[in-house]
């Protein structure tokens, strides 16, 4: 079981505490998830992805990177391998163009179903699958769903991205799920502007506000939504994590099948498995 972290904000923000400093930060969790790590962050709209197939807390590169990352969009992952060797190609997040993707879960019988799943990937994308994991194949099935609607560089709304995620999960479940075993498909995907995550069987938590912002005296973007549930539908930050991080953020657990995220204007999106938009609760 892996651990995910995703962050989107109206302003570039440091995520050192979430990755390293908090008692249950992602780096600390790598002691139980020792098979690699990866961090993706965006600069001028372009993703910068660093991955390494060793334990994050023992890796000086992870410490250095965590200390300098300041971005409006960050995705991070620590891996506990279920499929594939401990190599950099099997570490998350995976990248294609501006798209970045990470997965927490497992596809039962993946080796048995691998060829069928690869058959769901657009032919022009298959050659970019470089690793051995089920997670990377999920990513390219998702990209195929997006490509069916518009060229991949095209902007996407949160609703469009959520529909593609739901289509990917439904397709994979139709191929792989049995009465005895169901795929765990908790995923996080972004193009640097829109960020969406799905609770697909592994725990996931959302935070869009804090009890009190420690930067309230200096932050020029401070608004009511920073310290209370949004009434306008817009938020200043959206954080997704496999478990609530200690600190001032207020967390809400997502239910299985929930998809949440924000668009490029930081409008909050949330839907249930029935595609019904839901309010975010503290």
Domains of the chain from N-terminus onward:
3-103+188-271 (3.60.20.10)
Phi/psi class of residue 97: alpha, beta or left (left: φ > 0; alpha: ψ in -120 to 50)? Answer: left
Q: Is the dihedral of CA 79, 81, 87, 92 positive or negative?
A: negative
pLDDT score for 158: 96
pLDDT score for 280: 47
Structure tokens at 12: 């570039």
pLDDT in tens, the chain (282 residues): 578 999 999 988 877 566 654 444 554 555 555 678 889 999 999 999 989 887 766 667 777 777 778 889 999 988 766 666 788 999 999 999 999 999 999 999 999 999 999 999 999 999 999 999 999 999 999 999 999 999 999 999 999 999 999 999 999 999 998 888 899 999 999 999 999 999 999 999 999 998 877 667 666 677 777 778 998 899 999 999 998 887 888 999 999 999 999 999 999 999 987 654 544 443
pLDDT score for 218: 64
Concatenated DSSP letters of 236-281? SEEEEESSPPSSSEEEEEPPTT-EEEE-TT-BEEEE-TT--B----
pLDDT score for 116: 96
CB atoms under 10 Å from CB of 43, counted, come to 14
214 contacts: CB under 8 Å, gap ≥ 6: 248
What is d(CA 124, CA 140) in angstroms, rounded to the nearest whole number? 11
| pTM more than 0.85 | yes
What is d(CA 98, CA 68) in angstroms, rounded to the nearest whole number? 21
Phi, psi of 142 (to 5 degrees): -60, -45
Give the chain's end-to-end CA distance (angstroms, integer).
Answer: 26
pLDDT score for 281: 41
Burial 192-227 (b: 16+ CB within 10 A, else e): bbbbbbbbbbbbbbbbbbbeebeeeeeeeeebebbb
- Closest to 100 (Cα-Cα) out of 170, 169, 197: 197
DSSP H helices in the chain: 16, 26-29, 60-68, 110-118, 123-126, 134-147, 158-176
Beta-bridged to residue 190, according to DSSP, are 100, 195
């Amino acid at each position: 079981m892996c651990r995910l972290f995703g962050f989107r904000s109206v302003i570039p923000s440091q995520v050192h505490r979430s990755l390293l400093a908090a008692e249950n930060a992602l780096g600390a969790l790598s002691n139980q998830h020792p098979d690699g790590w990866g961090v993706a962050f965006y600069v001028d709209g372009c993703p910068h992805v660093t991955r390494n197939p060793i334990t994050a807390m023992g890796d000086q590169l992870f410490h250095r990177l965590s200390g300098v990352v300041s971005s409006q969009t960050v995705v991070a992952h620590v891996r506990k391998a279920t499929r594939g060797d401990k190599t950099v190609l099997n570490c998350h997040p995976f990248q294609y163009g501006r798209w970045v993707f990470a997965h927490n879960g497992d596809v039962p019988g993946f080796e048995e179903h691998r060829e069928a799943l690869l058959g769901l990937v657009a032919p022009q994308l298959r050659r970019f699958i470089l690793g051995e994991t089920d997670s990377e194949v999920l990513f390219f099935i998702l990209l195929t769903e997006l490509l069916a609607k518009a060229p991949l560089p095209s902007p996407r709304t949160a609703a469009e991205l959520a529909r593609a995620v739901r289509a990917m999960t439904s397709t994979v479940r139709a191929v792989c799920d049995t009465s005895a075993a169901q795929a765990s498909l908790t995923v996080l995907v972004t193009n640097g502007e829109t960020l969406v995550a799905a609770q697909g069987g592994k725990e996931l938590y959302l935070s869009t506000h804090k009890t009190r912002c420690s930067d309230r005296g200096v932050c020029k973007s401070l608004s009511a939504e920073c310290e209370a549930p949004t009434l306008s539908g817009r938020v200043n930050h959206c954080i997704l994590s496999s478990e609530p991080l200690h600190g001032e953020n207020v967390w809400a657990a997502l239910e299985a099948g929930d998809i949440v995220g924000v668009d490029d204007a930081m409008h909050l999106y949330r839907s249930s498995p029935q595609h019904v938009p839901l309010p975010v609760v503290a």
